[in-house]
Amino acid sequence: MTDAPAGFVVTVEPGDRLHFLDWGGAAPPGRPGVLLIHGLAQTAWTWAPVARRLVAAGARVVAMDLRGHGLSDAPTEPGSYEPAILAEDVLAVAEGSGLLDGSGDSVILVGHGLGALVGVWGAGALGPACAGIVLVDGGWESMEAATGQDVDEFLRGLDEPPEVLRSMTAFLRDRKGWDPATWDADQELAARATVVETHAGRVVPTTRPHVTEAMVRTMFGYDPASALAHLAAPVVAIQAGDDEARLGALGVVDGARAAAGHAPVRHVAFEAIGHNLMRYRPDEVTNEILALVHTG
């Protein structure tokens, strides 16, 4: 791993701090910057493979830690993880990072899983300053339909097996085992950023239980057709796997967008592959983002 990004903090009302990684880069005049948004219980580091490729291709890139994740604050007040708050966080990072530094600036929002939903909400807050949205394996279907579970069932299934959390070594071995060929220094950093090692040698998730529950309940309230129908910016959906039901959900979104006078979602799918497409297909994810950058 080379050229580690700089970390910064922007403060939002009522004093909550949001952390982001500034990967640098310098987009040509008139081209949008890129804001990367991670998924549930992950951090900005999960985007490292894609961020490095984007910067090498000449894009300006920032990756944020969602509130309650990574090095961002985890407020406990009711309502702290509602869509409107998350949308304002996106706007704050876009402005605070300098991605939106002038009246003509624009941003492409790229979200993975939960981050895709946050990206859609953020696009609404950005308005015309949003040059495009990339939904990486999420954001175009309801959680209940996608998982076949209700919110409480889903929450019960999130706990890690005890043997995985017994030590940092066991945890990293488990993450490496998902796909040894793609394991490198960036993947280890991304994995380490999601847990904390205790004095007893065990590891516990950095995302606190109240954050996980609040975020999941917000996710289950997401209505994709309504959320995506009125966004004028181009939308790209990148799907892990070729599940026909998921494709059907995209058709519902396209119908809603057509009724609102907007273009259909561009759909890209990969056969039988894991959810973390930034790790498994970084070149392809990068290319879809760059296609929007070059036309933004």
**Residue 161 pLDDT greater than 70, yes or no:** yes
Q: In the predicted model, what is the mean pLDDT of the chain?
A: 95
pLDDT digits (tens, 9 = 90+) for 271-292: 878 999 999 999 999 999 999 9
pLDDT digits (tens, 9 = 90+) for 177-236: 999 999 999 999 999 999 999 999 999 999 999 999 999 999 999 999 999 999 999 999
Mean pLDDT of 118-127: 97
Protein fold of 6-147+207-295: Rossmann fold (3.40.50)
Mean pLDDT of 99-126: 94
**Residue 296 pLDDT greater than 80, yes or no:** no
pLDDT digits (tens, 9 = 90+) for 52-91: 999 999 999 999 999 999 999 999 999 999 999 999 999 9
Q: How far apart, in whole angstroms, are the C-alpha atoms of residue 83 and residue 75?
A: 15
Position 10 scores a pLDDT of 98
- Residue ranges per structural domain of the chain: 6-147+207-295
Q: pLDDT category, 241, cuts 50, 70, 90? A: confident
Q: How far apart, in whole angstroms, are the C-alpha atoms of residue 118 and residue 187?
A: 23
The number of residues in the chain equals 296
Q: pLDDT category, 27, cuts 50, 70, 90? A: confident
pTM: 0.97
Position 4 scores a pLDDT of 87
pLDDT digits (tens, 9 = 90+) for 28-63: 788 999 999 999 999 999 999 999 999 999 999 999
Q: pLDDT category, 2, cuts 50, 70, 90? A: low
Mean pLDDT of 289-296: 92
**Residue 1 pLDDT greater than 60, yes or no:** no
Position 271 scores a pLDDT of 81
What percentage of the chain reaches a pLDDT higher than 90?
90
